[in-house]
Amino acid sequence: MKIDFNKRSLRNVLVLILVAISLTPGCNKGDNQQDVIIPPEPVIPDAIYSLEPRKLDCVDTLLRYPNFMPGVPVSGNNKFELKLHVAKKGSWFLSTDTLNGMYYSGQGVFADTGATTISLSAYGKPLLPGSQHLRVTRDSVVRTISISIVDTTAVSPEPVPLKSYFRGKLGNDSIIIDGSESWIPSYNGPYDTYGGNGNVYSDEPNMRNQLSIAKARIYNYRGTTMADFKAFFRAGYYPVILATCFDLNKEGINLHYNAKTFEQWWSLGHLENQIGSWFLILGAEDGQNSIGEHVRVKARFSCRMRNPATGEFRILTGETVCYFYRPPS
């Protein structure tokens, strides 16, 4: 059987092929908004300058959630500033270390000597969720920026059971906590700022086999309502806090586990990285019982924990329901 194409039919076929190619997604590189930004070629620095030492035993800057997302190239608009002193005018180039696929970098020219401020821009693509410190070093001075890499995908809230519990693992050791209702929460005032604290206690003596979850800070707490308190625990992913000055970031989570063997395990380690750690609130429901007003939170997490007595690190994973009681305002 012989198929005879005339010129018109052949032209129509070619037009259809070209249209199909033009409609194929991802063929036009210029429309790809996920390209990694390439920094400019570094200059050869000849200026003489020094970084201003930090005044507090804390990280310099805490970029707040949600700044970066795993697997998504960072924007050059994410910057942080450094104060320094210029002794000799000229070109400068400065960069942090590279960690988890990203870093900060900047360059320019100092036209004057004396005190000044420079900006470093973010580059790269974060590989894993978590919290991390990036360091920039000049002579013997080290400055640190703490950032969070958080999945910002919307989460549909789940129902939250009434009974508190924790089911998980610390390393290879299984943990089961069936929450006790015999404990009473304690509050420390005043409440202009308040850190949400949720606990899952067992009936073990001396508060052994206990999981505690702290959710940073609510500012201007005296003016909040119960609805505000519940909104503080909205469903979604949260970073695990790094710095000892963790009240700077109202979104972060801090965990503590008191084992049956009296071992203490903490997620909060000053200048430690939590790469690969995440905390997901699956749902939150408010209520009131004989103890008081509360928000009942269901969460799932994987977090790097440290035993301060031995320096050992283990991964704590699991699912929990815990009560966050609202203190009197």
Looking at the structure, do residues 179 and 118 belong to the same domain, yes or no?
A: no
| Domain identity same for 199 and 280 | yes
Please state, in angstroms and rounded to a whole number, the distance separating the CA atoms of residues 56 and 26: 48
Instruction: Using the CB atoms, write b or e for 240-254: b if 16+ within 10 Å.
Output: bbbbeebebbbbbbb
Residue 41 lies in a domain: no
Q: Are residues 128 and 209 in the same domain?
A: no
Residues 303 and 186 in one domain: yes
Number of domains in the chain: 2
What is the C-alpha R_g of the chain? 26
Distance CA 320, CA 280 (A): 11
Residues 210 and 319 in one domain: yes
Q: Which domain holds residue 310?
A: 165-325
Q: 142 and 258: one domain? A: no
pLDDT tens per residue across all 329 residues of the chain = 444 444 444 444 444 443 443 444 443 333 345 678 777 777 789 999 999 887 655 656 655 545 789 999 998 788 888 999 999 999 999 999 999 999 999 999 999 999 999 999 999 999 999 988 888 999 988 888 888 899 988 999 999 999 999 999 999 999 999 987 666 666 655 566 666 678 887 766 666 888 988 887 777 777 788 898 899 899 999 988 876 554 445 578 889 999 988 899 999 765 578 999 999 999 999 999 888 888 999 999 999 999 999 999 999 999 999 998 887 76
Q: Are residues 132 and 269 in the same domain?
A: no
